[in-house]
Amino acid sequence: MLRLEARGQVSRFWTFASPVLALAITVLIGVALFMALGKNPVRGLEVFFWLPIRSGYALGELLVKATPLLIIALGLSVCFRANVWNIGAEGQYVLGAIFASGVALGAGPQSQSWLPAAVVLAGVAGGMLWASITAFLRDRFNANEILVSLMLVYVAIQVLGYLVTGPWKDPLGYNFPQSKTFDAVALVPRLFTGSRVNVGVILALLGVALLWVFLFRTGTGFAVQVGGLAPKAARFAGFSARRSIWVALLVSGACAGLAGALEVAGPIGQLTPYVPAGYGFAAIIVAFVGRLHPVGMVFSSLLLSMFYIGGEMAQSRLGLTRSLTDVFQGLLLFSLLACDTLLAYRVRWRR
């Protein structure tokens, strides 16, 4: 019979090469998938891996998609390193968008130039507020943070639906469930003329640097990681498990809320029911493909954004369903899990 035996030592090379191997396996399965659908596999791979980077405008759109994925993944990596399984970043992202929209809708001709900063901070506050519910229930009642955070996603979506079909509905919007378009003074600045790339890219890269410092150069970051790797050792060293839970979830909520604020005050420019784009769930894949390392997540966020754009193009260029994006994301995740299993265990045949 086949058995899995733990390896004595995990290969450092394959620790970082495993995501590359998982991507190669995903591509091979994708080729077989295109052939099964009766499509040219070369054309299919071109749509997913070449068209999103073939021009300056395409690269800009790639960054627009990658920015929220990277920001949310940065926060999730803190949770996962602390062994706190925040699966509800999508809900914190939606609440950030709602809070930011509340400030942006109050803008007028007399609004000051600092209003975009207030919009962004409101989004951060909204994400932290929603994450604090999970932190409180986990801390006070030892509730499972996976279930709590996931269920709160659907509560956030219902709140969003109520607002865009009720009090915040645009009276001049031809009965569409959406808010009015934000005034220009409430939008975050764009970096280039003719491109949708905004200051969110700079904030994301700044977040990469800050997270690296937090994780590897501060006592709080060290305590969070020790609490995730060895809870008993953390308690023996005097590290507070409750503090780690609150720090991890609040940081994650702040990042998700920031991403939501940048999305509604940037590319979208208003609050709509389509704000929940699945970024909060896709960022989980970004975090693990990037090995929970700030620099690694930069590359994995670009890869996942290519899947998003490729899925949209596959719909218009190849006549395939847009859900192909989710298929490629799932293939990448399961390929990575398989590679990581063989990284930690070896397969043995025993009679």
pLDDT digits (tens, 9 = 90+) for 129-158: 999 999 999 999 999 999 999 999 999 999
pLDDT of residue 234: 86
pLDDT tens digits for range 78-93: 999 999 999 999 999 9
40-319: CATH architecture: Orthogonal Bundle (1.10)
b/e sequence 289-303, b meaning 16+ C-beta within 10 Å? bbbbbbebbbbbbbb
pLDDT of residue 348: 85
- DSSP letters, 216-281, are HH-HHHHHHHHHHH-HHHHHHTT--HHHHHHHHHHHHHHHHHHHHHHHIIIII-S--TT---SHHH
pLDDT of residue 254: 98
Residues 250-256: what's their mean pLDDT? 98
- What is the pLDDT confidence band of residue 34, given thresholds at 50, 70 and 90? very high
pLDDT tens digits for range 263-285: 999 999 999 999 998 999 999 99
Domain boundaries, the chain: 40-319
Residues 105, 180 contacting (CB under 8 angstroms): yes
Residues 249-262: what's their mean pLDDT? 98
Mean pLDDT of the chain, nearest integer:
93
Report the predicted TM-score, pTM, of the whole model to 2 decimal places.
0.95
Residues near 177 by beta carbon (within 8 Å), at least 6 away in sequence: 161, 164, 165, 169, 272, 273
- What is the pLDDT confidence band of residue 12, given thresholds at 50, 70 and 90? confident
CB atoms under 10 Å from CB of 41, counted, come to 17
Residues near 21 by beta carbon (within 8 Å), at least 6 away in sequence: 14, 335, 339
Using the predicted structure, report yes or no on whether residue 33 has a pLDDT greater than 90. Answer: yes
pLDDT tens digits for range 164-199: 999 999 999 899 999 999 999 999 999 988 889 999
pLDDT of residue 260: 98
pLDDT of residue 73: 98
Q: Residue 337 in 3-state DSSP?
A: helix
Residues 194-222: what's their mean pLDDT? 95
